């Protein structure tokens, strides 16, 4: 995803002389081609995230289209007040890039975890919040964000995320149908890079003959209500898989949509708990232990697909806290 972002940034700067990139002392090597080509439109403010946001706000007021970049936990948590006031209150067209969103940096410890980044940014009125699932979505969504008149947040992963195929176009604000269901009365929806894990789970389900509808909600805010309303006519259960805390993420947004309906599908969530994840697990280890890797997703699908489970209660309980270490014991 990060390479796709760097390429999309370069192309955007070629097309629009107002595009300017600001970094918080990160991305060396990744943006060398951009810096060599566009020189003054590359600004390193240093390790000063509040200044990063305020500088971008000032540039936006002067007619520039600033894109600011930092690790997701640094880009959203540290300068939250500046984002809220300098960018959000003024409704400025600043694009905030959170690199390593979710738990991409799981092994780096809690300071680098961004399990609340989508929630924090969704709290800002008028903020468009996007979590692409693969490099193609990154490349397609960045130009659309640059056309907005207000602020936006784009969560990207790291390197090497697999691309997936889908007939649906990548349109900001619209969920993508990745796989049409075949007889299953439930759907699996996700946001961000965990989507490729959901598709891995589908492969595990093939021997069982279970083929649910799969949708990717790359835009978390504004949420695609039309897609959810349509889905609600077809399924009895929606499994939400996310790499975000329960509060403020995709599952919370979908639950708010469901609460406004007289009736509708039940919501089952798979993802990290509302807790700080202590220790230094790898990403696969973290997903496995917290019950949202491909095996866990497939097993939840099997549970819901069993006739005996219909009409019953399905839950994906998570521990109140989660201390993870690299020691399997």
Matching fold, domains 2-156 and 176-323 = yes
Per-residue pLDDT tens for 157-199? 887 889 998 888 999 999 999 999 998 899 999 999 999 999 9
Report pLDDT for 229.
97
Question: How many other CB atoms are found less than 10 A from the CB of residue 154?
Answer: 29
The residue length of the chain stands at: 329
Please give the structure tokens belonging to residue 153.
């947040």
Cα torsion 21, 26, 32, 36: sign: positive
Report cis status (omega within 30 of 0) of the bond before 222: yes
Please give the structure tokens belonging to residue 192.
């961000």
Whole-Å CA distances, 89 to 45, 117, 124, 211:
23, 19, 8, 45
CATH class of the domain at 2-156: alpha beta
Assigned CATH topology for domain 176-323: Rossmann fold (3.40.50)
Supply φ then ψ for residue 5, to 5 degrees. -65, -45
Report pLDDT for 318.
43
* Percent residues over pLDDT 70 in the chain: 93
| Domain residue ranges in the chain | 2-156, 176-323
Report pLDDT for 106.
92
H or E element in which residue 97 lies? strand 95-99
Per-residue pLDDT tens for 96-138? 999 999 999 999 999 999 999 999 999 999 999 999 999 999 9
Q: What is the CA radius of gyration of the chain?
A: 20
Lowest mean pLDDT among 15-29, 153-167, 182-196, 260-274: 153-167
Please give the structure tokens belonging to residue 21.
């990139």
d(CA 142, CA 4): 10
């Amino acid at each position: 995803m990060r390479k796709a972002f760097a390429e999309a940034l370069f192309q955007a700067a070629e097309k629009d002389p107002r595009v300017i990139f600001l970094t918080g002392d990160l991305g060396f090597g990744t943006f060398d081609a951009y810096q060599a080509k566009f020189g003054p439109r590359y600004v390193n403010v240093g390790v000063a995230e509040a200044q990063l946001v305020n500088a971008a706000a000032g540039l936006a007021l002067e007619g520039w289209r600033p894109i600011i970049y930092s690790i997701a936990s640094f880009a959203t948590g540290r300068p939250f007040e500046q984002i809220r006031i300098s960018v959000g209150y003024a409704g400025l067209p600043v694009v905030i890039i959170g690199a390593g969103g979710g738990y991409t940096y799981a092994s780096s410890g809690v300071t680098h975890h961004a399990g609340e980044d989508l929630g924090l940014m969704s709290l800002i009125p008028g903020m468009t919040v996007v979590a692409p699932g693969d490099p193609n979505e990154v490349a397609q969504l960045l130009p659309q964000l640059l056309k907005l008149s207000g602020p936006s947040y784009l969560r990207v992963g790291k390197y090497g995320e697999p691309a997936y195929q889908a007939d649906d176009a990548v349109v900001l604000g619209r969920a993508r149908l990745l796989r049409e269901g075949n007889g299953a009365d439930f759907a699996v929806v996700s946001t961000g890079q965990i989507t490729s894990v959901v598709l891995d789970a589908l492969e595990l389900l093939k021997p069982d003959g279970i083929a649910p509808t799969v949708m990717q909600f790359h835009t978390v805010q504004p949420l695609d209500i039309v897609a959810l309303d349509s889905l609600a006519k077809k399924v009895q259960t929606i499994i939400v898989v996310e790499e975000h805390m329960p509060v403020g993420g995709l599952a919370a947004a979908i639950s708010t949509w469901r609460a406004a309906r007289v009736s509708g599908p039940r919501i089952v969530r798979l993802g990290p708990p509302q807790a700080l994840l202590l220790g230094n697990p790898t990403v696969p280890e973290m997903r496995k232990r917290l019950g949202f890797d491909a095996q866990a997703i497939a097993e939840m699908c099997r549970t819901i697909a069993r006739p005996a489970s219909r009409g019953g209660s399905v839950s994906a309980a998570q521990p109140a806290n989660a201390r993870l270490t690299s020691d399997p014991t």
